[in-house]
Amino acid sequence: MIPTLTYLQFHLVFSFPLLAILWYVAPRYDAVRRRRATAGIAILVAIAYAYTTPWISYMIRCGAWWYADGAVLVRALSIPLGEYLYFAIQTLIVAFVLHRLGFDPTFRDGDFDWKPRVAGVLVSVSMVVVGLWLVSLGDSYLYLGGLVAWVGPVLALQWSVGGGYLARTPRVWLTATLVPSLYFWVVDRIAIGMGTWIISDTYTTGIAVFGLPIEEMLFFASASLMTINGLVLFEWVLDWNDRRGDPDGSPIDALDPADG
């Protein structure tokens, strides 16, 4: 029988080594791109803590999942220290994967087209409505419905800003979402199998893939997607701002030899 890991031991085995590898193979950007990538990651980590903490705390207090005896050493707002670490760890892993795969943040004519922006916002707002409706159906939809409703506002904001760019670059954000999600799904299933954390049968639909509840699969995919969108749109907005301020449409920073 595989021994149960504490949450911190889980990170030592599955999180920190991967982060070290991804950091080592990260692309070596020029000074400007490096500053922008670093700033984007830092902002997304901060947003992850601000936006995720209330939702995770509520779900834990409702009993959507809990942790093995002895797996948690410290809690704040019902959330274990290991979970707080996961907010940053997941954001960093997703960011490193995105930059390793590569993306072009260049603004192009048509990126402010209203059609994809409106369509994206409508779909995202519909997610909030559907999520709340699912929650109203009963306890077994609490996790799923709460998750869908939680994701909707973020996607609505992202598509309202850069829907044209996102519609133009689906391969980027779909691939960069799927790759880290596959890893998170595997290690999450391992953690559940070891009993480090336990997903409630009462507050989930009972639908699972190879023993992994679909709610967990959707959580990691959704969190990755929101992170990817945030990172690419951050650099895209900066590129748009550069071009807006330069008559010939070239990024201003690229014209500054001091930035090398």
Distance CA 199, CA 60 (A): 10
Q: What are phi and psi of 189, to 5 degrees?
A: -65, -40
Label residue 247 by pLDDT band (50, 70, 90). low
pLDDT for the residue numbered 4: 83
Q: Which of 178, 158, 155 is nearest to 224 (CA)?
A: 178
For residue 9, pLDDT beyond 80: yes
Residues 47-67 pLDDT 10s: 999 999 999 999 999 999 999
In this prediction the pTM is 0.91
Decide if 92 contacts 38 (C-beta within 8 A): no
pLDDT-based confidence at 255, cuts 50/70/90? very low
User: What's residue 249's pLDDT?
Assistant: 53
Beta-carbon neighbour count of residue 75 at 10 Å? 15
The predicted pLDDT at position 243 comes to 85
Mean pLDDT (whole number) for 248-257: 46
Please determine, for residue 108, whether its predicted confidence score (pLDDT) is greater than 70: yes
DSSP code, position 26: -
Q: What is the pLDDT of residues 150-193, one digit of tens each?
A: 999 999 999 999 999 999 999 999 999 999 999 999 999 999 99
Give me the pLDDT at residue 244, please: 83
The rounded distance, in Å, linking the Cα atoms of 217 and 222 is 9
